[in-house]
Amino acid sequence: WLPGGHFSAHFGSQEGTLARSDYHFEYTECDALGSRWRVAVPNKADICTGLPDPVKGTQCTFSCSEGEYLNMQSQQCQKCAAGTYSLGTGVAFDEWDSLPSGFVTQGVNTNGEDVATDCSNSTWTPKGDYIASNTDECTATLSYAVSLKKPGTVSFDYFYPDNSIYFEFFVSCSLNVSSSFLMFTFVQVELNSGNNVLYWRATTYTLLGSAVKPVMLRNIAISGVAYTSECFHCKPGTHSAKQGSARCAPCPADTFSNKGATVCHQCDRDKYAEAGSASCKPRPACTNSDFFYTHTPCDSEGKTQLMYKWIEPKICSETVKGAVKLPASGDKQTCPPCNPGFFVTNSSTCEPCDKGFYSNGTACSECPVGSEPVVGFEYKWWNTMPKNMRSNLLSDCYFQAWEVAGEYVYTTPGDQDTDYLMLTLNVPGYRLPQSMTTDSERSELSRITFVFETVCSADCKFFFLAGYNQWNNDVVEQWRGTSRKQSYSYLIQSNSTTSFTWTFQRTEEFNMRKYSADVAKIYSIHITNVLGGVASQCRHCALSSTKAGSACVPCPPGHYMVNGTGVCKSCPPNTFVRADQPVGEAACVQCGPNTETNKAHTACLSDCALDVETAGGAPLHYDFSPLANVSGFHSSPRFTNKGLRYFHSFNLGLCGKEGRVLATCVDNVTESGREVRGYICQSTVVPSDIRSQSVVSSQPFLIGDSLIGVTTDTALSGISSPNWLFPAASGLQDVIFYYNTNMSHTELCESKDKWTPLRSLLSRNGCKHLSYLVFLLSNCSEGTCDGCTFHFLWESQHACPLCTKNHYREIVSACIQGIQRTTYVWQQPLQCYGGESLPAQKVSACVTLDFWLKFGVSTGTVAAVLLVTISCYFWKKTRKLQYKYSKLMMNSRGKECELPTADSCAIMEGEDAEDDIMYLSKRSVFSKIRSYSRERSSDGFDSVPLKSSSSQPKCDLC
């Protein structure tokens, strides 16, 4: 360092020793005073002598204008030569044949260390005019580091066709980290001075077997650099004819250019080239796919001409062998009718009817008193493209990608089969008719319905997108391959949905018009309740007698309009009024079992209480209110073919009264944050390490938005819940909640009847003594077996009936010390919860067992003594009678061998004592017994000794 702060270095040789191509100049970093030095840097590592001496450089704030570059030799700005361009204080990247210098791309595994996924090849890939992201489950990052000498900007264009990809752009610099920007077709971000690192990052969250479209970037431009020391050559297919060009112009069609061209060269007559081409191609023979047909506007005679036109730019040749000629145009045909809500003017054109009028496409009529026009847009005749619709290619806003053809509008052949052919309908907003209820649970803000058909020989795709703000469109539904003529409906829930787009791509395989005959057709489009719309009919309303001048008021809740009268009539009890048909008795729909209509009579609700009759027993009472709050659960982990883990997440609100919290599913992948609300909804959830997101949720849709009924029956309103899908019941019947939804019409759930459920939900509640457990069935691991009907099983203690007296029994204990206890226990297995509690133990006085034992022994003893005494008494009486009989026989009188006649059977007074003395004096009791046994005759008869007298003769007894 020399005095004064100058730097001097001597390398032992003078300038000019080395060739100019052996080194280049660079500036040193700016010092605190804002100055710098120009130094020579060798281009080869082995060069260390012969370099020019450093010299003082320009000020750090110095820069060149657009079309100029800084000549480091002279340190002066010079204009770029023809065939080159410069942005001055910026750099641009619009050529992606290879990854430009300074860009770095890499893929990393976000599935966790336990998943062996190779992401080394999952990077951003240059595709010529753009660079495309990866489409697998790895996270691919594209980065670019730039040093700005002053604040600048970065801008780029990109196409984001698939919401299965999480895409973000952010800037990391030495001072801060910028916010993420999602879903913009054009992005421009302010950059701070200093070092900035730009990141574009994409992660795909796709289901197994699903194909996604990559994010495409192009036209990246950065401003704020201090200077550029060179001009960039124009890429092939572009040119700059003058010096000092800031940009290169593309070559017109049928011309081409090489890199760094100053002019474009004309192709030979037998060759062609698209605009911006680097070479020419031979013209193929013209075929039927190289022209299309359209209709001219109706003339004053009500006629239209059928016109045939070559696809522009014309690339085929009519002179090649086998080529077809363009059919003759000019055939006149009768114009199709005007669309509903329009009328035919004197010039045979179609104009909309005035406010308060309606038409079927011919003449306008005023709605009668007591009615109102049903406004919207209904397009079913296509003679001219409607004013609020536009047709174009994704890459070309002026190409007519869809053409009218009378009964339908169809896709014309494009330049390439990979083109996205877009048809867009814009609407200003929505408003419900005065006669339609505004109840948030059933009213439809709007509904769009269209009939379409695709005929394809390749892997074509047809998309339907809804625009949730002016910046983006989200894919609502898509179809692949040939689709037969069918109808699709989509419910509009937010006033921010202002545009709808139909997009058709013939194939992803790059080729020139190989599949031009593949076509998409839209036959009709009908959207309801549109601000500024036209009316095809009028809706009757109830006349108001209280307000003068009031044309129309809605029917009271629970009433329907009598056809053609404007008179309201009450619906039967416990019915609700269909929002799409408030006229006629058919508008009243009976609520299902165990449900009641809400106050507005627009839906049926369950208060979570239920009584179930049992066979031969008391009814069971259920209270599901603890399950009324919204509960979230998810399926077991699923894995894509590359190991990315994902879940099906469900939110379910089982029941509840009006004002309940609805189940909500949100899409947080896209900026729109689209959400759906109802009884149950589903979304796909993927664990994420993306900035500030622990998980990402996408593809939300409603499964159930209307409650049909609550019952133990396994079938209701055409929906069945077969028992074989569920585990065996534990003695109690499952309580089943039936839901349906009319959100969208899918091919899997096609139905001619609007009120047959398109998607339905069955929630079976099994009594288990758990807090709660909701799970999917092993037979239908995704929650549904057919894509139409979803089955869920709740096992919870709150799904058990309320406990009553029939669920417990009593146990009485023994009497101990004069105390007896009664205890109550539950019947097993326990199949109830809540309700009545077990009664408390009861204590009562009682008599002990010792007392009763003593009393019994005493009573028994007394009875035994008494019995013995009575037996002895009657035995003695019997012996006395025997003695008296014997005595009677001995004292008999009359004839021999005749017994005396008894004067009396009674024992005379005084005889007892005498007899006793005589009987007892002769022998003892035991001797009498012995004699009794001896005096038994040989013939078995007893011989009785009788008194005898010597004066009486002996008598032989016969």
Q: Residues 508, 625: one domain? A: no
Do 115 and 206 reside in the same domain of the chain?
Answer: yes
User: One-letter amino acid identity for 475?
Assistant: V
**Could you tell me the CA-to-CA distances from 503 to 490, 519, 521 in Å, in that order?**
16, 11, 11
Domain boundary among 744, 771, 801: 801
**Which carries the bigger pLDDT value, residue 24 or residue 154?**
154
Dump pLDDT digits (tens) for 621-646. Answer: 998 888 888 888 888 888 776 667 78
pLDDT of residue 266: 94
Average pLDDT of 298-320?
83
Mean pLDDT in residue range 644-669: 84
Query: Looking at the domain assignment, is residue 125 inside a domain?
Result: yes
Task: Give per-residue pLDDT as tens, 886-916.
Answer: 878 777 654 455 555 554 544 454 455 444 5
Q: Are 530 and 430 in contact (CB under 8 A)?
A: yes
One domain, residues 818 and 797: no
What stretch of H or E contains 90? Answer: strand 90-93
Place of tokens 């109550």: 824
With 0-12 / 13-18 / 19 or more C-beta atoms within 10 angstroms meaning exposed / middle / buried, residue 348 is: middle
- Residue 360 in tokens: 């079927």
Provide the pairing of β-strand 759-767 with 789-796: parallel
Give the residue carrying structure tokens 């009757």. Answer: 540
Evaluate if residue 874 carries a pLDDT over 60: yes
Amino acid code (one letter) for 563 = N
What secondary structure letter does DSSP report for 907?
P
Mean pLDDT of 190-203: 86
Is the CA virtual torsion 124, 125, 130, 136 positive or negative? negative
Residue 42 lies inside a defined structural domain of this protein: no
Lowest mean pLDDT among 576-580, 649-653, 804-808: 576-580
Q: Is residue 281 part of a domain?
A: no
Q: Are residues 841 and 694 in the same domain?
A: no
Q: CA-CA distance, 16 to 25, in Å (whole number)?
A: 14
Instruction: Specify the range with the lowest mean pLDDT, choosing from 273-282, 517-526, 723-732.
Output: 723-732
Enumerate the β-bridge partners of residue 526. Answer: 378, 449
pLDDT in tens, 563-618: 656 677 888 888 888 765 666 777 888 899 999 998 888 889 998 998 888 776 77
Name the amino acid, one letter, at 484: R
What mean pLDDT is predicted for residues 107-114?
A: 66
Are 700 and 741 found together in one domain? yes
Report yes or no: 769 and 830 within 8 Å, Cβ to Cβ.
Answer: yes
Q: Do 628 and 714 share a domain, yes or no?
A: yes
**Residue 16 and residue 642: Cα distance in Å, rounded?**
60
The per-residue pLDDT for 502 is 93
For residue 885, what are the contacts with CB-CB under 8 A and spacing of at least 6?
none
* Same-domain status, 776 and 840: no
Least Cα distance to 665 among 695, 708, 625 occurs for 695
pLDDT value at 953 more than 60: no
CATH number, domain containing residue 341: 2.60.120.260
The pLDDT score that the predictor gives to residue 952 is 43
What is the pLDDT averaged over residues 183-211?
75
- In the chain, the percentage of residues whose pLDDT exceeds 70 is 77
Q: Which amino acid type is present at position 502?
A: W
CA distances from 211 to 133, 162, 206, 480 (A): 14, 10, 7, 11
Q: Any residues with CB less than 8 A from the CB of 381 and at least 6 apart, and which?
A: 336, 337, 338, 339, 361, 406, 407
> Do residues 670 and 815 both lie within one domain?
no
Token pair belonging to 580:
């799409």
Q: With 50 as the cut, is the pLDDT of residue 918 above it?
A: no
In this structure, what CATH number is given to the domain that contains residue 671?
Answer: 2.70.130
The answer to whether 118 touches 187, Cβ cutoff 8 Å, is no
Give, in degrees to the nearest 5, the angle at Cα 141 between 135 and 144: 140
Indicate if the pLDDT at residue 758 is higher than 50: no
pLDDT at residue 452 is higher than 50:
yes
Q: Is the confidence at residue 803, as pLDDT, over 80?
A: yes
What average pLDDT does the structure give for the chain?
77
Residue 13 confidence class, pLDDT cut points 50, 70, 90: very low
On whether residue 107 sits in a domain, the answer given is yes
In a domain, 267, yes or no: no
Q: Which residue has the higher pLDDT, 829 or 737?
A: 737
What φ, ψ does residue 929 adopt, rounded to 5°? Answer: -65, -40
Which SS3 state, helix, strand or coil, does residue 522 take? strand
Between 485 and 602, name the one with better pLDDT.
Answer: 485
Q: How far apart are CA 182 and CA 199, in angstroms?
A: 13
- E-strand spans in 624-781? 631-634, 638-639, 645-652, 663-666, 675-678, 680-687, 695-704, 706-711, 715-716, 719-720, 735-741, 759-767, 773-775
pLDDT band at 184 (very low <50, low <70, confident <90, very high): very low
Looking at the structure, tell me whether residues 486 and 349 fall in a common domain: yes
Same domain as 195, residue 111: yes
Q: Where is the domain boundary, 511, 537, 563?
A: 537
Q: Which of 778, 779, 773, 775 is nearest to 792 (CA)?
A: 775
Query: What total of structural domains would you count in the chain?
Result: 4
Domain of 692 in residue numbering reads as 610-615+617-801
Residue 439 backbone zone (phi > 0: left; psi -120 to 50: alpha; other: beta): beta
- Most confident region among 13-22, 94-103, 627-636, 887-896 by mean pLDDT: 94-103
Euclidean distance between CA atoms 106 and 125, whole angstroms: 10
Task: Report yes or no on 675 lying in a domain.
Answer: yes
Q: Are 466 and 476 in contact (CB under 8 A)?
A: yes
What tokens were used for 739? 């839901």
Instruction: Please compute the mean of the pLDDT values over residues 131-156 and round it to a whole number.
Output: 86
How far CA 549 is from CA of 167, 375, 544, 546, 561, in Å, comes to 56, 22, 9, 10, 20
pLDDT at 75 over 60: yes
CA torsion, ordered 223, 227, 233, 238, to nearest 10 deg: 30
- Please say which residue of 174, 208, 226 terminates a domain: 226
**511: how many CB neighbours lie within 10 A of its CB?**
12
| Tokens representing residue 178 in the block | 């910028």
pLDDT for the residue 700: 85
DSSP structural state of residue 928: H
HEC assignment per residue over 35-72: CCEEEEEECCCCCCCCCCCCEECCCCCCCCCCCEEEEC
Judge whether 667 lies within some domain.
yes
pLDDT for res 219 = 86
- Asked if residue 502 and residue 369 are part of one domain, the reply reads yes
**Same domain for 779 and 829:** no
| Domain annotation covers residue 306 | no
Q: Which amino acid is at 79?
A: K
Q: pLDDT-derived band of residue 207, with 50, 70 and 90 as boundaries?
A: low
Cis peptide before 757 (omega within 30 of 0): no
Q: Where are the beta strands (DSSP E) in 252-401?
A: 255-256, 265-266, 271-272, 281-282, 291-295, 303-310, 331-334, 342-344, 350-352, 357-358, 365-366, 371-379, 389-393
Q: How far apart are CA 291 and CA 447, in angstroms?
A: 36
Segment 56-60 shows an average pLDDT of 80
Tokens standing for residue 600 = 């507005």
Residue indicated by tokens 């998607």: 759
pLDDT confidence band for 12 (50 / 70 / 90): very low
